[in-house]
Structure 1
Amino acid sequence: MKLTRFDTSIEEFMIYCSSKNLSRKTILAYEQTLKFFSDYMRKTFEIERVEGVTKSHIRLYVNSLQERGKYTSVRVEKVNSNLQSRRDYGKPVSINTINNHVRNIKVFFNWLSDEDEITKNPVDKIKLLKGSERMKPLLSEGEINLVLSSFNKTKFDTYRNYIITLFILDTGCRISECLNIHVEDVDLSNKAVILKYTKNKKERLVFFSTRMRKELQRWIQYKDRYFSNELLFPSNRGNVMAPNTYETALRRIGQKRNIELFPHRLRASFAQYYLLNGGDLYSLSRIMGHSSLEVTKVYLQLDDESVRRQYQKFSPLNGIKID
């Protein structure tokens, strides 16, 4: 199919994104969002140039996102012939997902405005949808113990996955950051590790506990019997491990224990426990590698059990001696 001027503008934007050294995941998210949007503009309003888009068009597109079900706009034969058999196929698209689409569209049109490609910016008065989904409840101590006890520590791959799980729970790092750590990046004496492969491409120093140091010492000695390379958590073949390999293993353990489990939930639990145990938002933001405090504030969402624990810990009456 012949490229429209809208498609060309998207291609130019993607080149710009690549020049900014954004992560592959971020670039892919922009591209998918904008191609869906341009396809909607062309089919619904016959708009083939970015200059033709108005704020009303964007609002109508947001409304269409709310009305359609998950994956219903995806060409099944292009992606997965079994897509319609998914349990969540056709279910409502979440507010968070829709807001991610809106953010990506806003970035695109703000870039067009900065480049003087458009004279009137249609996203100037476009706001995110109000309300958001609550985070998954904090993993309880009992659930964490159940998960950790499910790993077979007598085999290389399952022992490695056990240590990775401990490491994320103890440091809050992303799984992609974790899998690119080299042994030389780990300072066992000072209980610190330099993360070099981060989301924003900036090195970040994170710290780990005394218990984690002992676990890492044992793990490194064990790993070195199998592989001589410098990766802290190599794949079974000694290469950089794919994140989905770990995600799949973690999900299986979650299914076995009837716990919804994925790497980001471990990271979120780290953040929430950090705050519950008295840590401050500013240091947490730095540890997590967030671009701003606004991103970190999402972890202030607490479930009822966490609020109950905090109340019992900080109740004014409990601290007052009353005759």
Structure 2
Amino acid sequence: MLARDIEMFIEHCGLKGLSTKTINSYEQTLRLFMQYMDEQGILLTEKITHLAIQGYIKSIKERGKYTVTTNPNSGNYPDRRVDFGKRVSDITINNYLRNLRVFFNWCVEEELILRSPVKKGDFVKVERKPLEFVSDEDFKRLLKSMNSASFSEYRDSIIIQLLLDTGMRVNECLLIEVTDLDMVKRCISLPADNTKGKKARYVFFSDKMATQLQRWIKYKDRYRDSDFLFCTNKGKRIQVSNFEANVRKYAQRIGLNDIHPHVFRNNFAKRFLMSGGDIYTLSRLLGHSSVTVTEQAYLDITQNDLAEMYRKHSPLSKII
């Protein structure tokens, strides 16, 4: 039964120690898919064909955003959203397909089916949008616009600087405890439970950042009692969604659009490469599972970037 197999797969993901966010993504995709299969009268996993997958993708394209839910009584009122019924993006469709492929590959491994009904050709070719880059001037303007007399804004300015200086994911940053810092070696220990790939790693920060962190810790300890390096006004953990909303608010003050916390990780990666850093080291610092992931995600190097990098490493200019 498809419903039983999905439950077994979700349990398997939990035993593997996958993040709650990843498991939720799998479950949401699979329950919507199961609902569609039920409507088609297909209840057995082994009865799902490639044609059924194609039919499901066609239905996603036709139905529009938020028009289907597994829980109509959730109280979220999706029909009140401004984008209700609008076209589902190709990126979202590919995410659905990616989650389905993981599930069916697991089914093959468990010998529940002979082969996956998801084919490589099902994925939609998407033209990659270059990652947002914040100039030195805009970054300085952003920090300057923040009120250092406010606990939350001073805290957020330190977080933003740390994200740019280390390349951490925002969730990793917000989970840091003061004891994770090594001010002598200028590094931060990220426990496996706090990282996306569930692998412990270290990130490193500059001398300038060390000075900022020392000032921040003294300030925080005067007014808040918390083990977290960055905490709410009540000393609790900061939620990623709240910090994201704060960053957008600060960016809007100075007229910057499409700025969110992940932008600073993107900027770290590009600046690292532009400064002569190698992609293998970058991959390790970012906590990627492979260099291939880094290449696919962070090689937004323009012609002007290439020219600047070349000038730094021209063989003749170093000889003559």
Give me the TM-score of the superposition, normalised by structure 2.
0.89
How many pairs were matched up? Answer: 313
Q: Which letter maps to 1:223?
A: K
Q: How far off its partner does 1:89 sit? A: 3.2
From 99, 104, 116, the equivalent of 1:121 is: 116
For the pair 1:33 / 2:35, whether they are aligned, the reply is no
* Correspondence list, 1:197-216, <5 A: 197-216=194-213
State how far apart, in whole Å, the 2-side matches of 1:134 and 1:79 are.
Answer: 34
One-letter amino acid of the counterpart of residue 266, structure 1: F
Q: Which of 77, 92, 101 lines up with 1:97 in the alignment?
A: 92
Q: Are 1:283 and 2:278 matched, yes or no?
A: no
Could you tell me which of 203, 223, 227 is aligned with 1:226?
223
CA separation of 1:251 and 1:27: change in aligned 2, threshold 3 A: same
> CA shift at 1:69, angstroms?
2.7
Post-superposition CA distance 1:4-35 (Å, at most 9, x none)? x3222111111111111100000000000111
Q: What is the aligned partner in structure 1 of residue 48 from structure 2?
A: 53
One-letter identity of the residue aligned with 1:71: Y
Q: Where does 1:74-85 land on structure 2 (aligned, <5 Å)?
A: 74=69, 78-81=74-77, 83-85=78-80
- Aligned-partner SS, 1:205: strand
Tell me how far 1:145 sits from its aligned partner.
1.7
Q: Which runs of 5+ in 1 are unaligned?
A: none
State the 1:319 CA deviation: 7.1
Q: Structure 1 residue 176 and structure 2 residue 171: aligned? A: yes
> Which residue, 264, 267, 283 being the options, matches 2:265?
267
d(CA) in 2 for partners of 1:118, 1:299: 33
Give the TM-score of the pair, scaled to structure 1: 0.89
1:244 corresponding residue in structure 2: 241
Note if contact 2:54-2:122 (Cα within 8 Å) is conserved in structure 1: no
Judge conservation of contact 1:138–1:302 (CA < 8 Å) in 2: no
Which amino acid is the alignment partner of residue 22 of structure 1? L
Q: Closer, same or farther in 2 for the Cα pair 1:275/1:101, shift >3 Å?
A: same
The residue that corresponds to 2:18 in the other structure is 22
2:40 maps to 1:11: no
The 3 A distance-change label for structure 1 pair 233 and 258 is same
**Between 222-231 and 311-320, the greater mean CA deviation after superposition:** 311-320
Write out the 4+ residue segments of structure 1 that deviate beyond 6 Å after TM superposition: 316-319
The equivalent of 2:232 in structure 1 is 235
Cα offset for 1:214? 0.8
Cα distance change of structure 1 residues 265 and 84 upon mapping to structure 2, 3 Å threshold = farther
| Alignment-mate amino acid for residue 109 of structure 1 | F
- In the alignment, the residues of structure 2 paired with residue 124 and residue 216 of structure 1 have an alpha-carbon distance, to the nearest angstrom, of 49
Per the TM alignment, residue 308 of structure 1 is displaced from its structure 2 partner at its CA by: 1.3
Match of residue 151 from structure 1: 146
Q: Distance in 2 between matches of 1:132 and 1:29?
A: 23
User: Secondary structure, in 3 states, of the residue corresponding to 1:78?
Assistant: coil
Unmatched segments (≥5 aa) in structure 2: none
Equivalent residues of 1:71, 1:90 under 8 A apart = yes
Pairing partner for 2:132 from 132, 137, 141: 137
**65-74 vs 215-224, which deviates more?**
65-74
Query: What do the CA deviations read for 1:257-306 (whole angstroms, capped 9, x no partner)?
Result: 23222111121111121112221111111111111222211344427xx5
SS in 2 for 1:278: coil
Structure-2 separation of matches of 1:320 and 1:164: 42
User: What is the CA–CA distance in structure 2 between the aligned matches of 1:300 and 1:243, rounded to whole Å?
Assistant: 22
Q: 1:317 to 1:238 in 2, by over 3 A?
A: closer
